[in-house]
Amino acid sequence: MAISISYSHMDRFFGCGERFRRTYLEKDNSRPGVALPIGSIAHRMRAWYLENFVLGDRELDSKVGEELADLTDDLIREMITEPELHLTRAQLDAGVNATKIHAANLTRSIVKADAQNLWSKIGNAVSAERKIKLRVDGWPYPWSAILDSEHETEQGAQEIVDLKTAKNKPARDSVRSLQLTMYQFMRALEGKPTDILTHHHITKHKKPEVYITRTEGRTEEEIEPLIARAELYCERLEHEIYNPAPEGSWMCSPDWCWWFNECKYSTAERRPST
């Protein structure tokens, strides 16, 4: 995958430059953990729903739930059941099959909860999983983003929705995320205003909880931290500065980093005692 100025690339770069280097420059593929496919399937099924029943002209009927379940199961097979995943020690102790069955059931619950919530609470979507990639003068890489969904309210306000799946409840300020700032900025590059930013959070539980938080669009001043971060990212890439994850970082452990056992930075002193 080519390097771009995207929220996810910057997040990975600042989380651990070494992981970023291996992933995007050496293209040394790692196995994903369980969380990634669960989130990806939730996003893909939401896009399927929006494309068919909100943006498209399909009518909701009694067969929709069945179709949604079948498509979700196809993706579960493709992304969870069949591939080899990078599991944590606790997941390995629980057993590979048991972990995958648990992940598959969680995914089904999340997709169902999201669909039910969408059917009753979200309308007038104008896009689903829209990719934006733009070259901007003065920047060495293209800016890019995939917007989960864009909406227009009955009053004509322009809204961006970011879907998140996570074990815990959302943090109080999750709607202030740099990711939503990035999405607004990308629309601004296209000449589109944004009035509302929405964080749509679904917990990964047997009975998922849904949290929706909205805020007004960011001011120009509030966009400045994004620009500063992007400048630092480009500068470090230019000088090939790939800082490893800080000591004590949760991701720098055998559970969460595929390269832990061979990484030159995960020396005995740096290794967590667990």
Nearer Cβ to ligand SF4 (139/256): 256
The secondary element (H helix, E strand) that includes residue 228 is helix 220-238
Q: Please give the order of strands across the beta sheet that includes 210-216.
A: 125-134, 143-152, 158-166, 196-203, 210-216
Strands, DSSP E only, in the chain? 125-134, 143-152, 158-166, 196-203, 210-216
Residue 53 or 265 having the CB closest to ligand SF4: 265
Task: State the Cα–Cα distance between residues 97 and 81, nearest whole angstrom.
Answer: 8
Residues forming contacts to ligand SF4 in the complex (CB under 6 A) are 16, 18-19, 244-245, 251-252, 257, 259-260, 263, 265-266
Q: Of 16 and 103, which has the nearer Cβ to ligand SF4?
A: 16
Q: Which is nearer to ligand SF4, 211 or 260 (CB)?
A: 260
CB of 32 to ligand SF4, least distance (A): 14
> CB-wise, 180 or 245, nearer to ligand SF4?
245
Q: How far is the CB of 26 from ligand SF4 (least distance, A)?
A: 11
3-class secondary-structure state, position 80: helix
| Tokens 């920047």 belong to residue | 139
How is residue 21 annotated by DSSP? I
Q: Work out the burial of residue 210: count CB atoms within 10 Å of its CB; fewer than 13 is exposed, 13-18 middle, 19 or more buried.
A: middle
